[in-house]
Amino acid sequence: KALLAVSSPPVTDPLPAFQAPAPVDSGSHGVHQSPLIDGNKTHQFDVDISGWKELYLTIGDGGNGDGNDHGAWFEPTLVKKDGSVTRLTDLKWTQATQGWGKTGVGISPTGAKLVRSDKKAMAFGIGSHAVSVISYKNLPSDIIRFKCVAGLADTHGGGQVRFYASNKVIKKFAAGGKNQIVEGPHAIPNSASILPHVARKALVALRAGPACVDAIGTPNQSGALMALRYMHHPEAVDALLKRFEKTLESDVKQRIARSLVRLANKEKPYRGDTWWGTRPETRGPYYYPTPWEKTEEIHKALVKAAKTGDPATRFVISKLAEKDRVSIPGLPKAE
């Protein structure tokens, strides 16, 4: 108890911030946005743009950074009042910007031939990389609709994006845009964190898992859960899983999930037969994430909580698994 009393850091370790999807303004002067798009998902735009003077096609990142965000506008068309159709690719855009690579008709951001991620047939399209803005000014007055299928190009490497069609520049992206998972108190030099750190290391060395689980829901919860992340001890994980199962309060359940995600893998023992290198390694928390005897039980508990819990719990579990490079079969993706 004495160690637990001094184990909590000066600042509570933050969780990924959940934001409900922003409402879509479907009016004639609104901003029309897709849901989060990853993998082979697509979104069908069919927008009334009567009276629009300008058209902006924007690809924003999905809230997890813009790496590998190879987006594309497949078969974008403009429909006139008389029902005739014009390919948007036949018009010259006013300006096009992208976060990386190229924006071009018929090509992905890499310059390769544009192909849908789901490999479905496509006659024409425009590829670009988030954050991307393609603007068309002085639209013909007889244009009444914009139609398009938006999705990822097959050159993406696990990107996640959101598409926007609007008559104005998008200044704020839904779901946080480029916001990353906030760093914890370890990111700031702070002498006040030394004693709690030593206390947590002692709790791990003493195999004080049951005592740490008992501290959940008390003022010592933060330090106890941080210590549990390093306790790859079957008895500690069993106790934590039982507490996780019966916990109903959303914030507490999310914080227990953080520890379970970390415990899902452990570091591969270093045998001296490979060179791990000295390059900066930002992926973490393990160089070689390796399953152990409790991995499957932890996976099942996290999947169940994500599927049956509230949207915030599902979002947090999914984002933490992504951040810690934990591949959990059946885990719903964050929306």
| CATH (domain of 154) | 2.60.120
Q: Please state, for a pLDDT cut of 90, what percent of the chain lies above it.
A: 63
- Look at 48-52, 175-179, 199-203 and tell me which has the smallest mean pLDDT: 175-179
Of 147, 176, 205, the one marking the end of a domain is 176
State the pLDDT at residue 293: 97
Query: Which amino acid, 308?
Result: T
Distance CA 235, CA 100 (A): 48
- In this prediction, residues 143-170 reach a mean pLDDT of 91
- 210 and 160 in a single domain? The answer is no
By C-alpha distance, which of 159, 191, 105 is closest to 113?
Answer: 105
Can you tell me whether residue 137 is helix, strand or coil? Answer: strand
Q: Write the CB contacts of 87 (distance below 8 Å, at least 6 apart in sequence).
A: 75, 76, 77, 78, 124
State the pLDDT at residue 214: 97
Of 189 and 67, more confident: 67
State the pLDDT at residue 28: 41
Cα-Cα-Cα-Cα dihedral of 297, 298, 304, 306, to 10°? -170
- 244 and 216 in a single domain? The answer is yes
State the pLDDT at residue 24: 46
- 81 and 115 in a single domain? The answer is yes
Identify the domain containing residue 233 by its residue range: 2-12+187-270+279-323
In a domain, residue 249? The reply is yes
- How many domains is the chain partitioned into structurally? 2
105 to 95, 99, 118, 167: CA distances (angstroms): 13, 17, 19, 21
In a domain, residue 25? The reply is no
Of 141, 176, 211, the one marking the end of a domain is 176
State the pLDDT at residue 16: 81
pLDDT at 116 over 80: yes
Of 154, 176, 198, the one marking the end of a domain is 176
In a domain, residue 75? The reply is yes
What predicted TM-score, i.e. pTM, was given to this entire model? 0.57
pLDDT at 231 over 80: yes
Distance CA 146, CA 26 (A): 13
**Does an H or E element contain 72, and which?**
strand 70-80
Q: Please state, for a pLDDT cut of 70, what percent of the chain lies above it.
A: 87
Contact indicator for 49, 55 with CB cutoff of 8 Å: yes
State the pLDDT at residue 146: 96
State the pLDDT at residue 193: 84
By C-alpha distance, which of 310, 293, 319, 200 is closest to 241?
Answer: 293
- 219 and 265 in a single domain? The answer is yes
| Sign, Cα dihedral of 154, 160, 164, 169 | negative
In a domain, residue 331? The reply is no
- In this prediction, residues 233-242 reach a mean pLDDT of 98
What does DSSP say about strands 70-80 and 143-152: parallel, antiparallel, or unpaired? Answer: antiparallel
- DSSP code of 258? H
- In this prediction, residues 196-218 reach a mean pLDDT of 96
- 195 and 172 in a single domain? The answer is no
- 96 and 206 in a single domain? The answer is no
pLDDT at 184 over 60: no
- In this prediction, residues 173-178 reach a mean pLDDT of 52
pLDDT at 215 over 90: yes
Query: Please, what's the b/e burial string for 31-47 (b: 16 or more CB within 10 A of its CB; e: otherwise)?
Result: bbbbebbbeebbbebeb
State the pLDDT confidence band at 21, using cuts at 50, 70 and 90. low
- 40 and 170 in a single domain? The answer is yes
- 313 and 217 in a single domain? The answer is yes
- 197 and 167 in a single domain? The answer is no
User: CB neighbours (10 Å) of residue 247?
Assistant: 18
Q: What is the mean pLDDT of the chain?
A: 87
- 266 and 306 in a single domain? The answer is yes
In a domain, residue 20? The reply is no
- 153 and 41 in a single domain? The answer is yes
- Look at 2-11, 15-24, 77-86 and tell me which has the smallest mean pLDDT: 15-24
In a domain, residue 21? The reply is no
State the pLDDT at residue 181: 43
pLDDT at 304 over 90: yes
Contact indicator for 294, 233 with CB cutoff of 8 Å: no
State the pLDDT at residue 159: 85
In a domain, residue 333? The reply is no
In a domain, residue 196? The reply is yes
258 to 122, 157, 268, 289, 314: CA distances (angstroms): 42, 26, 21, 16, 12
- DSSP code of 187? G
Query: Please, what's the b/e burial string for 183-221 (b: 16 or more CB within 10 A of its CB; e: otherwise)?
Result: eebeeeeeeebeebeebbeebbeeebbebbbbbbeeebb
- Look at 168-172, 273-277, 301-305 and tell me which has the smallest mean pLDDT: 273-277
Instruction: Select, from the ranges 15-19, 85-89, 190-194, the one with the highest average predicted confidence (pLDDT).
Output: 85-89
- 151 and 57 in a single domain? The answer is yes
pLDDT at 26 over 50: no
